[in-house]
Structure 1
Amino acid sequence: MAVKPFQRYWGKAVQDQERFTDKIYEAALIPELWPSVLDELAKLAGGIGTILFASTGNSTRWISSESTHQVMEKFVADGWMDRNTRAARLLNYDFQGFVTDLDVYTREELEQDPVYREALRPVGLGWGAATAIPAPSGELLVFSIERKFSDGPVERHRLAALDAARPHLARAALLSSRLVFERAKLIVETLNMLGLPAAVIDSSRRVIAHNDMFLTMAPQIQISARNVVSVTDLKARSLFEEAVKTFSLRTSSGCSLPLSAIDSSPPAVLHVLPLRGDARDVFSGATGLLLINPIDTRAVPSVKLLQGLFDLSPGEARVAKAILAGGGVKSAAGQLGISDQTVRTHLKAIFAKTGQNSQASLLALLSGSAKYEPTPGKIRDTK
């Protein structure tokens, strides 16, 4: 009797095959389980780990088995992603299944390719298997299994087990992508009910989901024909674009940016917040949440509100409130019991965080923040 592909590499045959298949679909619903699935997938090829790439053409995102995570981080940090020819070779081969290095390269090419010679082999890698799965959204998903160079090329008979798992991997990955998109829609619609214009964006500032209120923020916020969000205010634009670039950093904590009044639209505050979650990032590309607070010019805001809106320190917020109350540097220093130099130091920090360059422009921007002062109250039971 012929041995089925999974039976050859999962000792207990059918039970282990079913367990692995169940785990794949469980990861579709709980994206954080993908690294574990990728680890088990690698075992079918005698590999040490698997990397899952998602590419839109403009950017490539990835998650991996724990065992290959540090290697992949260094691979990206050293700039090898831009020089990697493996994906192009895989696509040109155009095969609906897993292929090995020797399917898409000659041995001579492998010896000469810098990625293999300078990046993979020095860390003990250099053989593997991969497959590409196009998504309906236009993205390309690539499962790339890495194997030790000392273990030699992936054997042909191992590909049968990988191909048996491929349809399940494809369906689960596409389901993960759809579910994460629905999650993004739920986030912005919930914020819409709370009266907050909001959008979820990717690292290229492409809008993944937005609510109706976000569209009312034109002309301060614009969405281009290519679905890319931009800020009209020149002072805030560069700060916004720089903030989005930091989303890939684990240390990114977001920021709050001022949007000047345009025509009849009041000034506003744009909050740029990073979204966490490696696996979700891969399947949706969602890296940031945008929240907007329009403001008017009716009263002086509290220290607490200024801190929350513009990420000011307590000392900076007290100086900002003193300036907004109508005093200059000397008046603020006397009121707060600090030196003129300390006030100027705080003002310099306030200007940097709000994108302003003078007390007059700061006053014009912040004087209306009081409209969003939270009012204590009870939550009414609607049951």
Structure 2
Amino acid sequence: MRDESDVLTDLIYEAGFMPSLWPRTLDRLAHHVGARGGLLMIKSGSAEKWTASSSLDSVMREFVDEGWVDQNLRAVRCRAASRHPGFLTDHDLMSPNELETLPIYTDFLRPRGFDEGVGTAIQGIQTDGLMITFEGFSSYLGASNSVLALNRLRPHLARASAISAQMRLIQAQAATDALAAIGAAAAIITADAYVVSSNALFNQNKDDAIDLRDGRMRLLNPNANIGFLSALKAKDISIGTSIAVRRIDQSPFVLHLLPTSRSAQDVFSYDTILVVIDKLHNTSSLKPSFLQILYDLTPAEANVAFLVAEGNGLSMVASKLGVSSETVRTHLKRAFAKTGTGKQAELSLQLQCMTPPNL
């Protein structure tokens, strides 16, 4: 009969290659050491992501919903001790006075029976602040006695976590490379604008339009960059958006931001956004409906912008649409703001250069 530690090691590596299995693996590990549940947390950029065994899932949702993440001093201390090659108990990380008086213990952990736990922070993977904890021991002695067994498994946990993270990076790069094969300049970025992967076509725009220093994407056009960063923070980024980018002495291009989906249980997959550069070419196929989608214009604004791009003056636009010149001016002013232009000639030049993207 196989030893339990061998079975656990196999489960750990299975989770490494199939991250959706981490909750089941954490549950089995927790049962092995006498804890009520296990938790894996990653701090990536400004976001804290986690996956937990089923026994901890509802508790963690309460923890997040009630705002305890921002008061989690035990996690801060655990990550600060990342050079320690093993698991630490709450009593190793906190003073006796802190254990007795901090609200996170008195108001949340202790009333739920989760004030005795062990945790470790793991370095060396391409995510920030990976931490694995086991929660809900019946006593400090139970938590302390689990450390030896968990330390034997810690190298496997570290390697399996690295595998999970690396696989997600490989998948992201494969996705952008596949887009390059059809001629699309593309990158995958996080909501904090950090680049997860990019293809060679995308990287060709680094010098004249895009700054990728420090691994974070910025647009060299200041106004476009403001729009880009605002779009990343917007709550409705889930439906995608497009941003026009003007360049000095060069034709403009459009940046399409499209959210990617991920498994809700996969803590190693980023909440990512696909960025596609759409270079603009002269064409007669431009239609108001495309402008509406591209710049988030209303139907009325798109019709005005389209007619202006055709070379019509305001009075002619008003006549064709059957509205007053004042109404046309109002729609045109809003179209200027959304397209990043300021004059009819600029708007006309920009729109005459466009072609709908082949996406």
TM-score range, shorter chain: 0.7 to 0.9
Please give the root-mean-square deviation of Cα atoms over the aligned residues, in Å: 3.5
After TM superposition, give the deviation of residue 19 of structure 1 in Å. Answer: 5.3
Q: Greater CA deviation, 166-175 or 73-82?
A: 73-82
The answer to whether the Cα contact below 8 Å between 1:44 and 1:161 also exists between their aligned partners in 2 is no
Distance 1:147 1:251 in 2: 38
Match of 1:255 in 2: 241
After TM superposition, give the deviation of residue 304 of structure 1 in Å. Answer: 4.2
Match of 2:350 among 354, 359, 365: 365
Distance 2:111 2:334 in 1: 46
SS in structure 2 opposite 1:126? coil
Q: Greater CA deviation, 180-189 or 308-317?
A: 308-317
**Could you tell me the TM-score, scaled by structure 2's length?**
0.81
The code of the aligned residue for 2:352 comes to S
The answer to whether the Cα contact below 8 Å between 1:53 and 1:63 also exists between their aligned partners in 2 is yes
Question: How many correspondences in the alignment?
Answer: 355
SS in structure 2 opposite 1:41? helix
Distance 1:317 1:67 in 2: 53
Matches within 5 A, 1:236-315: 236-246=224-234, 252-263=238-249, 265-277=250-262, 282-283=267-268, 285=270, 287-299=272-284, 301-312=286-297, 314=299
The answer to whether the Cα contact below 8 Å between 1:184 and 1:209 also exists between their aligned partners in 2 is yes
Check if 1:100 corresponds to 2:89.
Answer: yes
SS in structure 2 opposite 1:63? strand
Distance 1:171 1:292 in 2: 36
- Judged with a 3 Å threshold, the aligned counterparts in structure 2 of structure 1 residues 352 and 124 are, in CA distance, closer, same or farther, namely farther
After TM superposition, give the deviation of residue 126 of structure 1 in Å. Answer: 2.7
After TM superposition, give the deviation of residue 88 of structure 1 in Å. Answer: 4.0
Distance 2:226 2:247 in 1: 17
Match of 1:167 in 2: 155
Distance 2:24 2:299 in 1: 44
The code of the aligned residue for 1:62 comes to K
The answer to whether the Cα contact below 8 Å between 1:281 and 1:287 also exists between their aligned partners in 2 is no
Distance 2:115 2:325 in 1: 63
Match of 1:62 in 2: 49
- Judged with a 3 Å threshold, the aligned counterparts in structure 2 of structure 1 residues 166 and 323 are, in CA distance, closer, same or farther, namely same
Q: Greater CA deviation, 194-203 or 277-286?
A: 277-286
After TM superposition, give the deviation of residue 180 of structure 1 in Å. Answer: 0.9
Match of 1:145 among 113, 134, 138: 134
Runs of 5+ unmatched residues, structure 2: none
Match of 2:190 among 189, 202, 206: 202
Q: Greater CA deviation, 21-30 or 310-319?
A: 310-319
The code of the aligned residue for 2:229 comes to E
The answer to whether the Cα contact below 8 Å between 1:256 and 1:354 also exists between their aligned partners in 2 is no
**Could you tell me the TM-score, scaled by structure 1's length?**
0.77
- Judged with a 3 Å threshold, the aligned counterparts in structure 2 of structure 1 residues 373 and 75 are, in CA distance, closer, same or farther, namely closer
Distance 1:207 1:316 in 2: 34
Match of 1:216 among 204, 213, 220: 204
Match of 1:35 among 18, 23, 39: 23
After TM superposition, give the deviation of residue 316 of structure 1 in Å. Answer: 4.5
